[in-house]
Structure 1
Amino acid sequence: MIYLIDDKSDRQNDFGWDKNKIDFFKDIFISITSYSQIEKREERELIFSDGNMVLFHESFFDNVENKHKKDGNEIRNALVKNSEEKQNFKVVFFSGSYNSRELNETGGSMPVSILYQNLDFFLNNFKDNNLVDLNYLFYGENPNIENELLQSQERSNSLLIDEIFNDKIESCSSNLLIAGNGQGFPNPFKSSINFTFYNKNISDSGMSSKIEEWFSEKEYDNIFIPLCFGSTLSDFNGLRLVLHIRCSDSINSLKNIFLYSFIEDKSMLWGNEYFDVLKTKNIQIIDYKKVDFQKAVDNELNDLSIEELPFEIKKVKLNPPKNYIDSHSIANEWAINRWSKTINVSDDRIEAIENKIESNLYFKYLNTIYPIIKSDVITDDKLKITYSGTPKVLYIDDEVEKGWGEIFAHFFDDINEIYFDYLVEDFKNINQEQLIKSAIQKIKDDDIDLVLLDFRLLPGDFNKKNIKEITGVKILNEIKELNPGIQVIIFSATNKIWNLQNLQDAGADGFILKESPENSVEDGFTVKSIENMVHVFNSCFERNFLKAFHLKIDELKTELLPRKNFKKVSNPLDINFVDEVLKWLQLSCELLAKNLNTASKTSSFLFLFSVLENLSNQIVSSEPIKIDNRSDVYFEFEFSRVNNRLVFFNENKETGLYSKTNNNLRKAKRGIPWAQKILNTLNYLNTSVESELDLNEIIGKRNDIIHANSSLKGKLEISNEELINLFNTVYNGLKKI
């Protein structure tokens, strides 16, 4: 029986291995996607029986649902032990991190894509012949290709040996010749620099290491490398090495490269992932012939320039590596690298990502086609943001400890001297309910003003189709339920318009896009993203006062709503009054949360002033006091709850400003002038308005808005300070009513 142990059913579907296809081979083939299927020891012993074969994905036990360290190690060790001790038990390890195939006596290893591409050939052969022939699994429809290539290599070596016998090539150019280990390649040059590529160095990191070792000090004119080397000749590792050389930062990355080959049928290269590198400038395949090596050194090619390199490498269409769980992980590492270089910040975790990006071919490829130039670096002075008070920022992201934490600590703490912290949790081993509870508790405990929130935080979020079920959205909703004034910025790789719309509807105050590789097509995208980040933070910190507004509104609700019940309280308030003032306060905040433009601020100011007018109606008696001195009849006015009379505020006709007098307000008619009523209300409440100048500003601003005309121009602009001043005036008044 053949067992496939791979936790990613989605990956199987992507390669065409759906349930129907797996069921077709059910007599000989069993797919295991969960630890629960092999949890019992007797089930594992059955799998390890002699005559069976296991195809094991290296990251199976990295999955949260399969994470059993003890059993995971035990099963891995048992796979290796049984393959070594039992003649007819084979195990093949596969992973997206493998760059090449290696077939050996116990089984072998291979890239995940090769396994699924060839699995059909392998199972059909097993079904027809009842024979485990790993050549079908490793080489697909041409199981004999390795033997054929080995024979062709031996013939070509022999012919070249004869050609150069006592007559090697003399060349004035500086040539570097690389050969594969144990391939018996005869050096056709009398003089050249020679290096050998051993099988252990065919990984991305191995190739990058050798390029740094061999290409950093001496400059060459021509580089000769074998098309076929490594444990599997049909991997055509020379194509991959060529791309590594072109995408590496060395003095030889632009030199002429010749791939020497013994392959007669070049069409077998067409399906190789790196085939398109042959379409780029100054890279050629030459035959195992002396004349071809001679032509290569004699041929004068136009130099490849550094300016041409990105356009040439774009001819290669390279797919993301399969060892990443999803595009989310790739985008994170790519963005961390781009942002850290652009704002010039680093730590051990960022350096680890940089080292990976410098050795991983996919990231080297991306860095080559989307290079960061010196002018893209942003200095600290351009990262300054404007804020008041002492705001606190909390960052919630499952990737925080990969480098984002250091980037934002540098931005907030080092540059802007703003309190910054992040949520510490084991995101792989926590459920959604626990994470939401932990996040909200942290926000409460630390009195957080702004939350920087990732969209997808848990592995299960990537499979959810309903956006409302995604963890980031649920945390956003909980934060806004706690206090709508707490600013929440979504920091995510998602740029799907429907996601952004839903997040905005849920109350998100801003968006910052994590840079995915596809975003980097746009010149200067990284700089624009960071500049947008600064703008978003500035906008949110400008609205930071809304948190205090909402806290005070909640406080007023607690105090005023019970007073609507005339029968149960000693100091009741009119029901309509309570409902009206709370409604206007809420609307005022909602307007400001959406936008701080002139229209929103003006409308908000008027809503707040409506509350002040309602307050005035409650405080000032509507019944005037008639004074009849026979020769002089006039009216005075008083407050509803005390017998104090309203005083007169004198208006300066030239400036329009009012000043308080010691005289009672007297009028020949029964009606109270509007301005006198409002000024007496403010004076009576003894609110935070501390001077006649403040009184005049509030009244004057309201009159400017109501009687607006073109001559007022900038006077119609409402500042945040004026809004805060009026809100606090109203709040203090409602507290004292």
Structure 2
Amino acid sequence: MHNLLIHNDNTPFIKSFKSSIQFSASSDIDNYISTDIIPKIKAKTPDIIFIKDNLSSNYLELYGFRLAYHVRFEEKLKFVPIVILSDLDGFTLNRLESSAKILFTQNIFIIENSKKAFDDFDVKKMKSFNEENYKSKFLDLISVEAPENSSSHSIANEWAIYRWSKYLKVESEAIIKNREKIASMLYFKYLLAKNPIEIKKKNGIQFVPRPPENSGKILYIDDEWAKGWSDVFEQYFSKNKNIEFETFEYDFKENNKFTMISSIKNRCLAYNPDVVILDLRLTQSDHESIDVNNLTGIKITEIIKEINPAIQIIMLTATGKSTILENLYQHGILGYIKKEHPADIGMSTKESFDKLKTLVDKGLDKKYLKEVWEIQQSIKPFSPDIKIEVDSVFEILNSDMKNRFIYAMFAIFKVIEIINDKYFEDGYKKATWKDTNEEILDNSTKNKIQLILNKRLHLNNQKVYEGIENIIKIRNNTIHPKHGKIEIIQKDSIIEWFKMLQTILEKIEK
């Protein structure tokens, strides 16, 4: 039987082992174990691994237990029995080192660091340990804490980038660097064991994230863009050739908040995106703030909405606080995507992709609202009543209310009626021009507005006349549907009618 010893020249009976590896403590202990010690262990193909509990000059640095965890998370070594050599008993070790709880898992033993204890060790104590009981006899009995020098935000970013890039099969310098870190850190090894990435479904079909189906322009803003997120999103959106994707490549750490926000505003003005994927926290001060309204992502949202409130914003965030997430909607965002933090139990990468697709498609579907807003801003109503109706068009269309196109059509039609009332006094089956008292026998909405266009505004615009006929026809069919069927209103019709209204009101103003 091949027994292997891992030591720091602190075991007096080294020659009793078939082979040994000397451990030299490093400042980056996880990386050293993963890139140096583990490959050496695998090369020796041991049947039993003996590990000295302390593997450095500091007796209280019980790196032996950390190494034992690394072994258990290594696919080719995870079922190999491990024996801890120590001058202390298990009870004392558990008081000194939380990772000593591994002693209570399957086929992990502790013996005295002596030749006699080694000779007396009975291999028959070993129990069956395999894939079937790996979870119940090991994973469910232990926990590995995140490194103290790693923030919750950085962990969520690294973990989410790793998982998203795996599903999308992204290969880039930043992704490889992230992957190497995940592969070496004990905490991430633990997470991968607890939350394996299942590329294939139970029926054997491979899961492929579906890209959005609509077309448009997407701008991505995140201080973590260069760590792999930009590569992930670029790969994802490249699957739809009708989507134009751009990352705001910016050195967030080297510039102050004012300069950063100003640069983002200028980029939005120049690029004119339909959808912005925006990180909630973009500066170090954001991680120290408890007021969501002061977060940089919120400030940028407000600026983007000032440019054009129809630009749809999808917030990207690592926070898991429900109070913050719900508060985001008060600032007019379309929705949010969470960067998967390991603490979010039940959160699925597949569900994140599905939610992203849904939100982006919804956002791109609303891109026509940018033009609606621009038309609305250019209209100068001659009365408060017209302003109310004109302003309501965008508000209605930007909502999720049912039949919003119908209500928007009614608002535009109402303006036509207000214009008619400006020029005509209605009577029974007839109307009178207010300026000449001349009567007309046909007081229908269509006849009155056409007379106004022709005789008072001298507007000779075929598109306007066609628009008038079209909106009146659809309005009447909506109120009195033929065969109970309401006519479907398209986005293009709304824009056409709104432009028609713009032309008429401009002529009235002149």
> Same fold judged by TM-score > 0.5?
yes
Deviation of 1:224 after TM superposition, in Å, equals 2.0
- Encode CA deviations 1:33-61: one digit per residue, 9 max, x unaligned: xxxxxxxxxxxxxxxxxxxxxxxxxxxxx
3-state DSSP of counterpart to 2:300? helix
Deviation of 1:444 after TM superposition, in Å, equals 0.9
Instruction: Summarize the alignment of residues 444-459 of structure 1 with structure 2, pairs less than 5 Å apart.
Output: 444-459=269-284
What's 2:211 paired with? 383
What's 1:547 paired with? 370
Q: Which runs of 5+ in 2 are unaligned?
A: none
What's 1:39 paired with? none
What's 1:34 paired with? none
Instruction: Summarize the alignment of residues 32-181 of structure 1 with structure 2, pairs less than 5 Å apart.
Output: 173=1, 175-181=2-8
What's 2:394 paired with? 589
3-state DSSP of counterpart to 2:200? helix
Amino acid at match of 1:363: F
What's 1:522 paired with? 346
Paired with 2:273 and 2:88, the residues of 1 have a C-alpha distance of: 66
Amino acid at match of 1:431: N
User: Which residue of 442, 446, 460 maps to 2:267?
Assistant: 442
What's 1:686 paired with? 461
Q: Does 1 or 2 have the higher relative contact order (CA < 8 Å, sep 6+)?
A: 2
Contact 1:616/1:677, CA 8 A, preserved across alignment: yes
Paired with 1:411 and 1:687, the residues of 2 have a C-alpha distance of: 45
Deviation of 1:439 after TM superposition, in Å, equals 0.8
Instruction: Summarize the alignment of residues 67-466 of structure 1 with structure 2, pairs less than 5 Å apart.
Output: 173=1, 175-187=2-14, 189=16, 192-200=18-26, 203-216=29-42, 219-248=45-74, 250-264=75-89, 266-288=91-113, 290=116, 295-305=121-131, 308-309=134-135, 312-324=138-150, 326-375=151-200, 378-379=207-208, 382-387=210-215, 391-413=216-238, 415-466=240-291
Paired with 1:432 and 1:419, the residues of 2 have a C-alpha distance of: 27
Per the alignment, do residues 640 and 541 of structure 1 end up closer, same or farther by CA in structure 2, a change over 3 Å counting?
farther
Deviation of 1:345 after TM superposition, in Å, equals 1.3
User: Which residue of 363, 380, 402 maps to 1:598?
Assistant: 402
3-state DSSP of counterpart to 2:57? coil
Paired with 1:357 and 1:398, the residues of 2 have a C-alpha distance of: 20
Paired with 1:346 and 1:293, the residues of 2 have a C-alpha distance of: 50
What's 1:572 paired with? none
Paired with 1:311 and 1:604, the residues of 2 have a C-alpha distance of: 63
Per the alignment, do residues 198 and 548 of structure 1 end up closer, same or farther by CA in structure 2, a change over 3 Å counting?
same
Contact 1:273/1:318, CA 8 A, preserved across alignment: no
Per the alignment, do residues 447 and 235 of structure 1 end up closer, same or farther by CA in structure 2, a change over 3 Å counting?
same
Per the alignment, do residues 700 and 193 of structure 1 end up closer, same or farther by CA in structure 2, a change over 3 Å counting?
farther
Paired with 1:513 and 1:494, the residues of 2 have a C-alpha distance of: 7
Paired with 2:42 and 2:411, the residues of 1 have a C-alpha distance of: 70
Contact 1:178/1:197, CA 8 A, preserved across alignment: no
Instruction: Summarize the alignment of residues 531-680 of structure 1 with structure 2, pairs less than 5 Å apart.
Output: 531-556=354-379, 560=380, 575-576=382-383, 579-595=384-400, 597-618=401-422, 621-622=424-425, 670-677=441-448
- Encode CA deviations 1:268-288: one digit per residue, 9 max, x unaligned: 432413122223222222333
Deviation of 1:445 after TM superposition, in Å, equals 1.8
Paired with 1:504 and 1:211, the residues of 2 have a C-alpha distance of: 50
- Encode CA deviations 1:147-187: one digit per residue, 9 max, x unaligned: xxxxxxxxxxxxxxxxxxxxxxxxxx4x3412313224314
3-state DSSP of counterpart to 1:235? coil
Residue-pair matches, total:
498
Contact 2:278/2:315, CA 8 A, preserved across alignment: yes
Contact 2:8/2:55, CA 8 A, preserved across alignment: yes
Per the alignment, do residues 243 and 483 of structure 1 end up closer, same or farther by CA in structure 2, a change over 3 Å counting?
same
Contact 2:7/2:52, CA 8 A, preserved across alignment: yes
What's 2:494 paired with? 723
Per the alignment, do residues 276 and 291 of structure 1 end up closer, same or farther by CA in structure 2, a change over 3 Å counting?
closer
Deviation of 1:254 after TM superposition, in Å, equals 2.4
3-state DSSP of counterpart to 2:214? coil
Deviation of 1:452 after TM superposition, in Å, equals 1.3
Contact 2:274/2:367, CA 8 A, preserved across alignment: yes
Deviation of 1:580 after TM superposition, in Å, equals 2.5
Contact 2:81/2:126, CA 8 A, preserved across alignment: no
Amino acid at match of 1:299: K
Paired with 1:410 and 1:712, the residues of 2 have a C-alpha distance of: 47
Contact 1:259/1:284, CA 8 A, preserved across alignment: yes
Amino acid at match of 2:51: I
Deviation of 1:305 after TM superposition, in Å, equals 1.0
Amino acid at match of 1:309: K
Percent identity between the two aligned chains: 27
3-state DSSP of counterpart to 2:138? helix
3-state DSSP of counterpart to 1:260? strand
Per the alignment, do residues 316 and 594 of structure 1 end up closer, same or farther by CA in structure 2, a change over 3 Å counting?
farther
Q: TM-score, normalised by structure 1?
A: 0.61
Paired with 1:501 and 1:522, the residues of 2 have a C-alpha distance of: 19
Deviation of 1:233 after TM superposition, in Å, equals 2.5
Deviation of 1:442 after TM superposition, in Å, equals 1.0
3-state DSSP of counterpart to 2:263? helix
Per the alignment, do residues 586 and 497 of structure 1 end up closer, same or farther by CA in structure 2, a change over 3 Å counting?
farther
Deviation of 1:736 after TM superposition, in Å, equals 3.7
- In our comparison, the structure showing a higher alpha carbon Rg is 1
Per the alignment, do residues 291 and 429 of structure 1 end up closer, same or farther by CA in structure 2, a change over 3 Å counting?
closer
3-state DSSP of counterpart to 2:78? coil
Per the alignment, do residues 188 and 309 of structure 1 end up closer, same or farther by CA in structure 2, a change over 3 Å counting?
farther
Q: TM-score, normalised by structure 2?
A: 0.87
Deviation of 1:481 after TM superposition, in Å, equals 1.4
Contact 1:255/1:304, CA 8 A, preserved across alignment: no
What's 1:699 paired with? 472
CA RMSD of aligned residues (A): 3.3
Amino acid at match of 2:412: L
Amino acid at match of 2:500: T
Contact 1:179/1:185, CA 8 A, preserved across alignment: no
Contact 1:395/1:452, CA 8 A, preserved across alignment: yes
Amino acid at match of 1:181: N
Paired with 2:370 and 2:502, the residues of 1 have a C-alpha distance of: 14
Amino acid at match of 2:346: E
- Encode CA deviations 1:465-503: one digit per residue, 9 max, x unaligned: 322222111111111112111111111112423323332
